[in-house]
Structures are given as C-alpha cells and as structure tokens.
C-alpha cells in the first residue's frame, strides 16, 4: 500500500508541475502554488485529459501483415439512414473516411447509359453514380490516415459495366490504386506501412497473382473470365459439419487433382451447390491482396484458403462460431482477414456489439456508421487509439495461436489490472431536453471479454447538472485489459416509465487512460463534442 501511495503522490506532483505551466501569475509559481485561474486553465488543457498523449499518434508497429490488425470498417457506406427506403449519399463515404474508416462498402449495379450505379439492390434506396462515389473517396481517402483503404465491392454488374468500373478506378486513383503485387510480398500479406497511400480493391478474382502480373500492360478490353464457386453445405450454415466429418471429406477432395469431386455420396448429408459469374478481366486484375471468397468452414479454409483471400461472415453465423468453435475462429483470424457484417433483418440500420467479434480477432467488423448508439461509441472509442489511423495492432493473444486464448473462459492466466476510478464532479453538464434542472447520474461500463463486462454507477445528484459532486470510488478487476474498453455515461433520471436520457458519453481503450487527476470530455449521442461539459476524475491502475 505504501508503494501505491507513493505512486499517487508522484502522479499528483506531475499534475501539479504541469498545471503550473498554465499559470500566468509569476508570484504564485515562485511559491510553488497555483492560482484559481491557473488551475482552471490546466483543467481545460490537453495535458489534463484522460486520453494518453502518445495514443494520439501512430505508435504501434505498422510492419506486421494486414491480418494482424483490427481495421475500422463500415457496412453499406453509401446509406445515411435505413436499409430499405433511406437515401444514398456521398456524405456516407466522406464522414466515414473523416472518422478514420479504412474499409468502405460499395454495392455496384448496372446503370443506364453504361454508367454503373451504387445503391442497396432490390430496395427503394436512392442511387449514386459509381464514378461520383469513387471521386469522393479519392478526395478524402487520406485526410485522416495515411494507411490503406479497402474498397469492398458488392459487384452485381455485367462484364461491360465492370470494365467501366475498372476504368474509373484506374483513372481516378492513378498510382494510388494497387494493381500489382509488391515485389517484397509475392506470397504473404503486406503491412499497412508497405501499403501507405494505397487503395485496395476487394472483389471476386479469377486466376493467380502471377497470372495478373504477367498481364500488366496488355489490352484487356472485352476480355471476360468465368468465375466459379463450389459451396459445400450440410443444411446448417451456422455450424457446418463436425470436424471429423469435414476432415475426412476434405482429405478425399485433396487427393483429387482438380479438388472438385463429382459425387459426395460418401459423406452423409452433404450438398454441393455451384455458382458461376462472368467477370471482366480488367476488374479481376485489380484485385491483389483482398480477394473475396465465400467462407465455407474453418477446416476448409485451413486446407485451401490462400493468403490473399478474405471472407465475410454474417453476424448470426459469426456469433454462433465464436461460442462453439472459438479456438478455430481465433486460429482462422490469425491467418486470414475476416469481415463480419450485420444481418439482413437490421433494416433500420441498427448495429450489433462489435466487441464480441474483436474478442476472436475479426479484423473487419463492419458497422452502420450512420446509426449512433453503444456499438458506434465502442467503434469510435477503440479506433481513437494509434493516432486514429484506422489500424490497431491485435494483442499477442490473438496473433499467437500457441497461447490458446479463449475469451469465453471465466479465468484467464494473463496479466489483469486493478483499476480504481473516483468520480469527483461534473463540469457544466449538458442540459436535458426535458428539464433545466435534471437529476444526474454517472455510469461506468467496461466492455471486453465476457468476464470483464461490468457496470457500476454513482448515486443520483438532484437538480444540479451545472456542478454536481459525487466523490465516489469504484474498483474493477480487468482480466484482459488488452481488449477492454471503458465507457463513461452521464444520464438524467426521468422515472421508471420514461427511462434515463443520455446527456453525454466518452469511450476509450482501458490502456489508453492516463493516471492521476483527469478530465473526461463528453460527446453527444451523435458524436458531437460537448465542451466544456466534462467529468473530473481520479484514475489509477496497476498490473497484479
């Protein structure tokens, strides 16, 4: 306890010395004191903020392969409202890129006058020209981050309009478009550093990277390739076959030269479905390190998935796999880029909790950026880290499969931290929409592995949002701090029937918190900064 007290005094001394820099009264500085004005200036300076200064810059190693990073990703980026009737707007792409999003989704369909369009197919959402979307992306792609942007194409176009898409991509992005493999990375995924200021196309692809390289500079006009896909099903698309059945089945496929058995009668309950599609060579050859492939099964991927193939999994199936096949899931995401997207039933553009998929290492957890709420608070909070670059290096437990990490285990033999937070007071909290003198409460939530998820709250301060005081201390034991986020929520109590009203919140990674006396800025539900509204806190944590 004595050591902890010494650390607290050291933290206070550091804060005091920092505050003196803000003081404009030399006589106070000479006496090693602080004026009220100096203290106020310090309180509202960046040095007093809860978020660590070094986390505001790119400080992580950016030379790992792409699969080693969480990548900020959006779903149906062109939509700014619901999935059925709402408008499509360029603002969806602009706002996502400004927030540091690095994977954008573009649904492409044939348009009139040979102009591909972007919209949510078979719905009443409005339409955008593909060309206009690409031009907007080109303008804002690297405003917030220098690291690569992935264009996830949902391609429903005819070969002719696919050629138009390829031409637009090449003419708009020029040298920023990655159209050939990097010499240093012929058979491994490159790093974000190696791909700085590059645009990557995620789409179906026919042929190998070597074949693409050999065609560089050739005329591909009118050249069409046939893309084929064989899907093996057992009637349960969520769980797939049991591992023994799949291993037996796949070992027999592997023995065949073409890996395409004419019959599956030897495997009970397995169905084979084939799909074909015409793909313009010009577009296919723009796909390098992000080739889209349907996810079939972990065992299938282990035998056949190539290093440059990425797969997308719906949230329902991904959730089931994360519970029933957690070790296989982490093994898979340690090797291959995996994207999780919202289920079709979310017509209102609602979002799932992204934390459950970050816990198993999914790189691209795609959310509807237009919809505020807890999921987007977690998304925005997580990607504050590493300079807001949109790339967060996954912790060792999700990159090294020999560690045998399981986020669902109640106990984890790692390096937990004990976190203490004292909520001291509030500073000019936002005005409630229902009352000018609201009753306010502060809630602290921890999100991470299931065992770390916890919520605690202060008492309610009556009729005072201008300068409420709590002076309440809370302690948390966080087993896996590398994956944990903390969310400060200020609400006004309106009774059991009306429920609480959110006044402001702030979310950040646990390990990005400064220690000592700190100010917690608040943001509205839509993400607007509510300065000077904030909380005054004392924070301390140590590893056990």
Residue 248, H or E segment: helix 243-255
What's the half-sphere exposure (Cβ side, CA atoms, 13 Å) at 444?
A: 22
Alpha-carbon dihedral angle through residues 75, 79, 80, 82, given to the nearest 10 degrees: -90
How far is residue 429's CA from residue 416's CA, in Å, rounded to a whole number?
33
Q: Is 161 helix (H, G, I), strand (E, B) or coil?
A: helix
CB 427 within 8 A of CB 533: yes
Residue 418, H or E segment: strand 417-427
Q: How far is CA 26 from CA 23, 33, 475, in A?
A: 8, 10, 39
Q: Is the peptide bond before 532 cis (omega within 30 degrees of 0)?
A: yes
Q: Pick from 414, 461, 408, 470: which is nearest to 438 by CA?
A: 461
Q: How far is CA 257 from CA 253, 254, 260, 302, 367, in A?
A: 8, 7, 8, 18, 41
Active site includes 75? yes
Radius of gyration of the chain (CA): 26
Handedness of CA 240, 366, 291, 166 (dihedral sign): positive
Q: What is the DSSP letter of 177?
A: B
Give the pair of three-digit tokens for residue 282. Answer: 């010009």
Give the pair of three-digit tokens for residue 272. Answer: 């084979």
Give the pair of three-digit tokens for residue 502. Answer: 């959110």
The number of residues making up the chain comes to: 544
Out of 25, 75, 332, 415, pick the active-site residue. 75
Furthest C-alpha separation in the chain? 91
Distance of CA 334 to the CA centre of its chain: 16
Tokens 């591992």 found at: 243
Which residues in 121-223 belong to E strands, given as ranges? 128-129, 149-155, 199-202
CB 376 within 8 A of CB 81: no
Out of 25, 120, 327, 415, pick the active-site residue. 120
Catalytically active residues are: 75, 120
């Amino acid at each position: 306890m004595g050591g902890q007290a010494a650390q607290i005094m050291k933290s206070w001394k550091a804060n005091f010395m920092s505050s003196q820099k803000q003081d404009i009264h030399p006589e106070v500085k000479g006496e090693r004191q602080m004026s009220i004005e100096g203290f106020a200036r310090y309180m509202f300076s960046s040095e007093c903020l809860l978020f660590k200064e070094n986390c505001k810059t790119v400080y992580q190693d950016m030379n790992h392969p792409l699969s080693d990073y969480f990548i900020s990703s959006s779903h149906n980026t062109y939509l700014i409202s619901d999935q059925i009737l709402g408008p499509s707007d360029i603002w969806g792409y602009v706002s996502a890129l400004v927030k540091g999003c690095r994977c954008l989704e573009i649904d492409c369909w044939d348009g009139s006058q040979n102009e591909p369009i972007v919209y949510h197919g078979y719905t009443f959402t409005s339409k955008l020209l593909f060309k206009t979307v690409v031009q907007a992306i080109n303008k804002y792609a690297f405003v917030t981050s220098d690291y690569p942007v992935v264009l996830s194409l949902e391609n429903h176009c005819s070969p002719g309009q696919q050629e138009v898409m390829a031409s637009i991509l090449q003419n708009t992005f020029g040298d920023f478009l990655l159209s050939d493999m990097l010499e240093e990375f012929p058979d491994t995924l490159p790093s974000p550093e190696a791909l700085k200021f590059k645009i990557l196309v995620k789409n179906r692809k026919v042929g190998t990277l070597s074949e693409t390289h050999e065609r560089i500079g050739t005329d591909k006009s009118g050249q069409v390739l046939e893309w084929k896909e064989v899907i093996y099903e057992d009637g349960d698309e969520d769980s797939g076959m049991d591992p023994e059945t799949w291993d037996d089945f796949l070992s027999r496929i592997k023995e065949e030269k073409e890996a395409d058995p004419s019959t599956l009668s030897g495997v009970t309950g397995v169905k084979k479905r084939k799909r074909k599609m015409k793909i313009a060579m010009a577009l296919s050859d723009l796909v390098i390190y992000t080739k889209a492939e349907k996810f079939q099964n972990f065992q299938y991927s282990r035998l056949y998935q190539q290093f440059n193939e990425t797969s997308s999994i719906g949230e329902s199936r991904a959730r089931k796999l994360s519970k029933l096949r957690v070790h296989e899931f982490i093994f898979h995401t340690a090797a291959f880029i995996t994207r999780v997207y919202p289920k079709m039933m979310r017509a209102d553009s609602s979002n799932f909790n992204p934390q459950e998929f970050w816990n198993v290492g999914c790189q691209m957890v795609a959310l509807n950026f237009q919809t505020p709420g807890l999921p987007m608070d977690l998304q925005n909070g997580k990607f504050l880290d590493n300079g807001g670059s949109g790339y967060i290096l996954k912790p060792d437990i999700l990159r090294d499969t020999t560690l045998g990490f399981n986020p669902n285990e109640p106990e984890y033999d790692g390096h937990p931290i004990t976190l203490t937070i004292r909520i001291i007071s509030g500073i000019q909290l936002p005005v409630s929409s229902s009352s000018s003198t609201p009753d306010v409460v502060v809630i602290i939530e921890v999100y991470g592995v299931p065992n770390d998820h916890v919520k605690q709250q202060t008492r309610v301060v009556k009729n005072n949002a201008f300068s409420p005081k709590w002076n309440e201390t809370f302690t948390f034991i966080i087993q896996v701090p590398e994956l944990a986020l903390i969310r400060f929520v200020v609400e006004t109590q309106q009774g059991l029937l009306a429920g609480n009203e959110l006044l402001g919140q702030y979310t950040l990674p646990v390990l990005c918190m400064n220690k000592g006396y700190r100010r917690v800025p608040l943001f509205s539900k839509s993400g607007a900064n509510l300065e000077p509204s904030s909380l005054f806190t004392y924070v301390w944590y140590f590893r056990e």
